[in-house]
Chain A
């Protein structure tokens, strides 16, 4: 959302942004002051095509103003992944408009924006967006262009067939007449929405180009508005403290009377699992709530995280299940157990990875306002407006249609902003606003966020590989005890039969290597703490387990890791091409150790991953200093099949690689006594500027079905770096993060 009006208002004065004024301006954008394309809405011909169910609902998506500005309602949330620009780029291509003419916002909850899963649902996640809506937005743009052409034909009194377009104009070549889209929008709106407009067959003008992002200037001048920046007239601000251990309830607030005397304090409230203070500013609310003396109880009826729960204990609990029989993942083949018994050599290893925080830089918040007409407005960072709408309706006792979910720009998300249960600022704000009859904004401090995140789950795998006499893998048997967000939040309904949590096994299962006997088993071991989707989900650790183990197996076979992978990918031209690409990008394969020009002793590690429909090959160049790994360069070749914006893809791969390295090197949430020990960035270390490697990205367009982009750059980095470290130290790191180990002699 690039809100030009807000930007101007804020530049002109220091007064607080006033939401009711903003709401008026935005309402005007789609309403009577401005001419909306496609109003009144005409029923489009029923679309039987799966991915195109809503593709001709032009009025729901596009508003062209008289000045030619184009407002696009994007089903997806913008949180840095560039989706507002990329979607506009597709529409601009087919509409034949300037990309710079677009303003994009995330669409409100509603049926017309269910562009995923055959037109039935939407989320921003799973690296789904472009690959699943590319066809939708092409048809949408083409349909809108056809409407403008039809309007132009009426205006000029010529057959539509004589007309064409140039970006932003309907053009009659024979007479040289040109009409700006903005002048035709009202007329076009009165015409039926055609059901047969087809996307371009010819060369693309915008798709495939590194077009500039639409929101850069707003984000570089402090004008971009995030959920935490929201303000509505008459609102109170809330700060909360949650129970020290999740699941406990507030009993009495022992010093409530004293808290109410503190400056600016309005009231003190008990909420499920938390205490809140409402005040006239966030700081005053925070000071008061942090002074609250609360008697916490275990009377909620919800399970309370046990007092003796710890990360170390959880790791042991997973390990004890590592030989238990589990349910096999669907890519099972042959008879792994027998083949392992008959193998010439067997390699076995246990790997684990810790709980992680999302650590998106914008702490969670929610602003809610009950309106006089019985409706409810909610502004909160989210990746799933309809899911939040349903929860808000339940929490407020309203019908879903009475709840408007506004999705602002997200200050990072990485999976944080799905619904992970009822402990959420939105639920809290709704209760508080109901209680006091005023609009309320709840902000979680960083400390509260780190104590109530839905963590990347701790993971564990026991891997067993059998080699034949020729040094080929004939058997792989992996057991993954644990629980991913799918099992945690969706249960058996999404896990097939026998139930397997794909979010727990992906990256150990579904690998491309030709192994005749393989079995990946999942043993359900539940986490007592909340877990969620974290950038690349199961891949974020499982590809580390698998690809680091694969190097161990290659070592056991006496093989070079690159040659070993190639030998097991003989029938996979797409993967072989990707290996060639990353080797070429990195100037030729050299495992090392070798001495670099700066005198450091370096090595390289290699890893592959197949996440979210894309294929990735990663090479890391690493040295050691003061017992830590120094990653100098990451070379990443990614094959997403085909692409929309190479600049955004490169930025996403670099971003994903950074978080992958950060997680592998430094990050862990450690539970002791049922509580997370890391409550802020002073103890939860994430990668900083000085630790950022150069990231070299090569995009390979194989023409395979379009894959995801936002997450696939992450999973290859931890194993590539770990494999390089093993070359330098002769020692395998099987437990993340690296920071837990002192590396090498230096």
Chain B
């Protein structure tokens, strides 16, 4: 049994300690907004915030984040930065298939919380998540719009 804090709620999960956080979120807690894409921390679809830092949950053993604050896409709007990003995403119609966008938004939230007015280079450095639909330019536009709205 591992105790973790997800979106402000403390949860006991009956899994092996080396289970990736991704699968605890998806299968044990039913928080399917966090996506599986590669399982090897390449694509970023599984990105969540752990104590405010963007982490690829497919490579995070659940017992390593006991006691830390985990935030998933389901609670992104509870954070004012996340809410501004979601508003920008909606205003600009950023997503296409949408599958990577949970991870993109979590990575963008971590970026703006750390760097409220990011340069293009900041965005390139922070936003390494893959998007097969090629929404990269719209994602960057969304980040800039959310930054400007602050």
What residues of chain A have their CB less than 8 Å away from a CB belonging to chain B?
Answer: 10-11, 14-17, 79-82, 212-213, 215-226, 228-229, 231, 237, 263, 281-284, 359-363, 409-414, 443, 445-447, 647, 651, 654-659, 662, 680-682, 686-690, 692, 694-695
Q: Which of B77-122 contact A (CB under 8 A)?
A: 77, 86, 89-90, 93-102, 105
Q: How far is the CA of A184 from the CA of B86 in the complex (A)?
A: 36
Q: How far is the CA of A501 from the CA of B77 in the complex (A)?
A: 51
Number of residues on chain B facing chain A (CB within 8 A): 62
When the two chains form the complex, which single residue of A220, A231, A651, A682 contacts B42, counting CB atoms closer than 8 Å?
Answer: A682
Closest B residue to A222 by beta carbon equals: B33
Whether A412 lies near B28 (C-beta < 8 A) is no
* Residue B123 at the chain A interface, CB threshold 8 Å: yes
Q: How far is the CA of A80 from the CA of B94 in the complex (A)?
A: 11
When the two chains form the complex, which single residue of B23, B32, B123, B139 contacts A225, counting CB atoms closer than 8 Å?
Answer: B32
Q: Which residues of B contact A658 (CB under 8 A)?
A: 133-134, 136
When the two chains form the complex, which single residue of A80, A219, A282 contacts B23, counting CB atoms closer than 8 Å?
Answer: A282
* Residue B51 at the chain A interface, CB threshold 8 Å: no
* Residue B43 at the chain A interface, CB threshold 8 Å: yes
Q: Which residues of A contact B27 (CB under 8 A)?
A: 237, 281-283
Whether B89 lies near A360 (C-beta < 8 A) is no
In the assembled complex, how far is the CB of residue B10 from the closest CB belonging to chain A, in whole angstroms? Answer: 10
Number of A-B contacts (CB under 8 A): 187
| Given A16-B29, A220-B105, A362-B35, 14 extra CB contacts under 8 A | A222-B72, A224-B98, A281-B23, A281-B28, A283-B20, A360-B99, A360-B132, A361-B131, A445-B39, A647-B93, A651-B135, A658-B133, A680-B40, A682-B42
Whether A694 lies near B74 (C-beta < 8 A) is no
Q: How far is the CA of A411 from the CA of B15 in the complex (A)?
A: 28
* Residue B7 at the chain A interface, CB threshold 8 Å: yes
Whether A221 lies near B77 (C-beta < 8 A) is yes
Closest A residue to B87 by beta carbon equals: A220
* Residue B149 at the chain A interface, CB threshold 8 Å: no
Closest A residue to B99 by beta carbon equals: A411
In the assembled complex, how far is the CB of residue A238 from the closest CB belonging to chain B, in whole angstroms? Answer: 13
In the assembled complex, how far is the CB of residue A621 from the closest CB belonging to chain B, in whole angstroms? Answer: 15
Q: Which residues of A contact B36 (CB under 8 A)?
A: 228, 363, 443
Q: Which residues of A contact B38 (CB under 8 A)?
A: 446, 680-682
Whether B105 lies near A655 (C-beta < 8 A) is no
Q: Which residues of B contact A412 (CB under 8 A)?
A: 97, 99, 132-133
Q: How far is the CA of A681 from the CA of B135 in the complex (A)?
A: 18
Q: How far is the CA of A694 from the CA of B137 in the complex (A)?
A: 7
Q: How far is the CA of A220 from the CA of B140 in the complex (A)?
A: 15
In the assembled complex, how far is the CB of residue B129 from the closest CB belonging to chain A, in whole angstroms? Answer: 8
Q: Which residues of A contact B130 (CB under 8 A)?
A: 361, 681, 686, 688
Whether B74 lies near A681 (C-beta < 8 A) is no
Whether A651 lies near B98 (C-beta < 8 A) is no
Interface centre among B6, B36, B96, B135 (most CB of A within 10 A): B96
Q: Which residues of B contact A690 (CB under 8 A)?
A: 124
Q: Which residues of A contact B101 (CB under 8 A)?
A: 219-220
* Residue B138 at the chain A interface, CB threshold 8 Å: yes
Whether B32 lies near A220 (C-beta < 8 A) is no
Q: Which residues of A contact B40 (CB under 8 A)?
A: 446, 680-682
Closest B residue to A10 by beta carbon equals: B74
